[in-house]
Amino acid sequence: MAGKIKALKDGPYQVSGRVTVEDTGGKTVVVEKEVFLCRCGGSKNKPWCDGTHAKIGFKADK
């Protein structure tokens, strides 16, 4: 299945399908299961979502 990215309302990016994620250090991970990427900037486990968006009241732009 091709990779798909969906922005969840006031939450993370939901990523499904096969995708390659590269972090700021250049480390790449091939993902073949559903994962969630931080969109609020507050995660302590970037690029992965750790739920911080809910704690800080993140509101996404439309």
* Longest CA–CA separation in the chain, Å: 34
Q: Which residues contact 62 (CB under 8 A, 6 or more apart)?
A: none
Specify whether domain 4-56 bears CATH 3.40.50: no
> pLDDT tens, 14-57?
999 999 999 889 999 999 999 999 999 999 999 999 999 999 99
Q: What dihedral angle (degrees, nearest 10) is formed by the CA atoms of 11, 33, 3, 10?
A: 0
> pLDDT tens, 35-47?
999 999 999 999 9
Mean pLDDT confidence for 7-17? 96
pLDDT of amino acid 24: 85
Distances (CA, A) of 40 to 1, 3, 18, 54: 27, 22, 23, 9
Q: Where are the domains of the chain?
A: 4-56
pLDDT over 90 (residue 12): yes
